[in-house]
Structure 1
Amino acid sequence: ASAKFLEDFEQNNRTTPEDFEWPFVPASRSFCFGVDVTQYNLSRCVIVNNVAYFYGKEPRHLSDEQIKRFEQYAKELEAYGIYLYENAMQKRGKTIRSRLTPVSAPQKPTSICDEIHAFTQ
């Protein structure tokens, strides 16, 4: 933290950030996250609640096999997003982790929309 921030914090709160009694943040409810409630806006489709929408219409309900494949795809997409973020922070010199270990690039996941669209036609 910057010296100005620390100075202002201590002046306004009469303590350091380390000793400040931060409010309790409740854990997020599990129904707020996950592939079944997250909307994935991909290049050729939107997937939400295990339904793929192509071109804003043509809903296709995913099969059990496609749901498993999509869950794996979502994990790969998240890992790739984390890599992009950490790589950007590393280039800006903002992360401690980047100074300890280089960020390795996972393979960018290919779009799952083509796979689902071809399978359901």
Structure 2
Amino acid sequence: MENHYQSNNPQAEFERLRQEQKRKNRKKIIIILCCVIVFFTGIAALVFSVMKNSDAYTAAEYYIMHDPQINKETGGIKELGAFPSGNINTVNGHGKALLTIDVKGIKKDVKLTMYLEKHSGGEWKVLEVSEE
């Protein structure tokens, strides 16, 4: 068998190959990490989008914007936070929701946790509001 490669320093060649393999492995890890980050960012954006477009969130938003006590405490509402959290469960037209929403006010920001319910054929009703 013929040897196509001859090196004057096999130890240096081995080290060069080892470093090259490390670089390739780093590239693979970076690509995988980027894919994982993009995937989870997409999932989070989808969840937030679905939540913000729900009837429960719309009812909570309306309540916040029109509640005199919240307006007084915040000094007026500038906007609601971009990332609400919580859960919304509906079965056969009945629903329960627990939402946490950041409220950015002119004088003060508050974080509200709201409990809502919906009965079959009805609208979402805010039953409880607490400040964290």
**TM class, shorter-length:** under 0.3
Larger relative contact order, structure 1 or 2 (CA cutoff 8 Å, min sep 6): 1
Task: Give the alignment's TM-score, normalised by structure 2.
Answer: 0.25
Task: Give the alignment's TM-score, normalised by structure 1.
Answer: 0.27
The structure richer in strand per residue is 2
When Rg is computed on C-alpha atoms for both structures, the one with the higher figure is 2
